[in-house]
Amino acid sequence: MKKILITGASGCTGQGVIKYFRENHAYEILGLVRKKRRDLEPGARYIEGDLQDRSSLEKIFRESRIDSLFHVGGAVDPHNNKELFYRVNKQGTRELVDLAVRAGVGEIIYCSSTSVYGKFDQPQIDEEHPLNPQGHYARSKLMAENIITRECEKAGITGGILRLPIILGKNDRHLYPRLILFNRFHIIPMFGDPGHRLSIVHPGDIARAFVAVSEKRFRKINSFHVVSCNPTFRELMLKTAGAYNRNPYYTLYIPYPLLYAGAFLIEMTFRGVPPYKEATFSREYARMIGREWTFATSRIEKAGYSPIMDIDAIVNDMVP
């Protein structure tokens, strides 16, 4: 039985991936978590460890024979100090990959982010688009990509990089809390042109992408966009509001220039005031929710991937 180590196993993505594997594949799963909780998804053996603590990672590879590493974990929260993004996403990945190579792990698949592209003007881009990450999170993710690509190809390890757009699913801690805030006040926010589309991925489809890339056993480490669906912003807002069954709702229209200007002011404030953390709302985030923001998936589809989650299924899973 294939034994997979999943980092970041307690988060929204990690938990959704474990649930999908438990229901659809006979894998033996080890889940790396910083602290065990009673509400963790069944189907994995959870091990406490930290990407910033090499000794805790060494223990895992010493005590278990790992066939595949699915590196999901990382620092994401914009409230983090900028140094933490590099300690976890860059240096933590370096330590993890080094130990995996030494332990003879045959496969490494990494969950990165579409934020590595930075600003782009086209309505949809593919994996060959130039990389110009903005902000510490995006830069640290690209650094991790480079580490994995270099070390895997040097050691002859198969794998790939999954570049993920907005992740929505059960226990999401990023977009979902913002939607709740608006819904509590019976408000439906509409940013920019409400008809613009944005790419969304569910953790279950991330797991399906892992399987597709794993089965192909790519020797050259490629990047792959993974998308479940491309709803309009209006559709996402209305379906989320409908799931709460709170009516009537009031529509709040915010023009894109105003949204972008607000994000710029927030960024400048965070950069100029100690402790100089990443902005909680950035121009990149404004572009993501205020303009057309989609990603081509032909490369991952050629590897055998097909999504199973549409916007209705995602909202139903996301809203308790």
Q: The CATH number of the domain where 301 resides is what?
A: 3.40.50.720
Averaged pLDDT for residues 3-27: 95
- 78 within a domain of the structure (yes/no): yes
**pLDDT band per the 50, 70, 90 thresholds, residue 248:** low
- Looking at residue 121, its pLDDT comes to 81
Q: Where are the beta strands (DSSP E) in 135-186?
A: 158-164, 166-167
Determine what percent of the chain is predicted with pLDDT higher than 90. Answer: 64
Q: Which residue has the tokens 């992408």?
A: 209
The helix/strand/coil state of 129 is coil
On whether both 64 and 35 belong to a single domain, the answer is yes
Averaged pLDDT for residues 207-228: 96
- 62 within a domain of the structure (yes/no): yes
Structure tokens given for 24:
């659809």
On whether both 58 and 129 belong to a single domain, the answer is yes
The one-letter amino acid at 43: G
Residue 112 has pLDDT above 80, yes or no: yes
Secondary structure letter of residue 117 according to DSSP:
G
Least confident among 54-63, 176-185, 229-238, 253-262: 176-185
Instruction: Give the DSSP H or E segment for 316.
Output: helix 311-318
- Between CA 180 and CA 110, with CA 7 as vertex, the angle to 5 degrees is 95
- Looking at residue 246, its pLDDT comes to 61
The helix/strand/coil state of 135 is coil
Domain that holds residue 37: 3-171+198-228+294-311
Q: Which residue has the tokens 């930290």?
A: 50
On whether both 221 and 96 belong to a single domain, the answer is yes
Distances from the Cα of 258 to the Cαs of 35, 187, 194, 253, 281, in angstroms?
41, 18, 15, 10, 13
Averaged pLDDT for residues 188-193: 86
- Looking at residue 78, its pLDDT comes to 62
Mean of all residue pLDDT scores within the chain: 90
- 272 within a domain of the structure (yes/no): yes
- Looking at residue 185, its pLDDT comes to 78
Contact predicate 97/61, CB 8 Å = no
On whether both 123 and 73 belong to a single domain, the answer is yes
On whether both 188 and 284 belong to a single domain, the answer is yes
- 316 within a domain of the structure (yes/no): no
- Looking at residue 79, its pLDDT comes to 63
Total domains in the chain come to 2
- Looking at residue 182, its pLDDT comes to 78
Secondary structure letter of residue 140 according to DSSP:
H
- The CA distance from 198 to 293, in Å, is 5
Beta partners for residue 30, in sequence order? 5, 45
- 317 within a domain of the structure (yes/no): no
- 286 within a domain of the structure (yes/no): yes
On whether both 95 and 212 belong to a single domain, the answer is yes
On whether both 257 and 214 belong to a single domain, the answer is no
On whether both 8 and 143 belong to a single domain, the answer is yes
Residue 12 has pLDDT above 80, yes or no: yes
On whether both 38 and 180 belong to a single domain, the answer is no
**pLDDT band per the 50, 70, 90 thresholds, residue 156:** very high
- 299 within a domain of the structure (yes/no): yes
On whether both 220 and 269 belong to a single domain, the answer is no
Residue 52 has pLDDT above 90, yes or no: yes
- Looking at residue 320, its pLDDT comes to 72
On whether both 117 and 208 belong to a single domain, the answer is yes
**pLDDT band per the 50, 70, 90 thresholds, residue 307:** very high
- Looking at residue 80, its pLDDT comes to 64
Q: Which of 75, 51, 73, 25 is nearest to 204 (CA)?
A: 25
On whether both 125 and 188 belong to a single domain, the answer is no
Residue 135 has pLDDT above 70, yes or no: yes
Handedness of CA 120, 298, 93, 146 (dihedral sign): negative
Residue 225 has pLDDT above 70, yes or no: yes
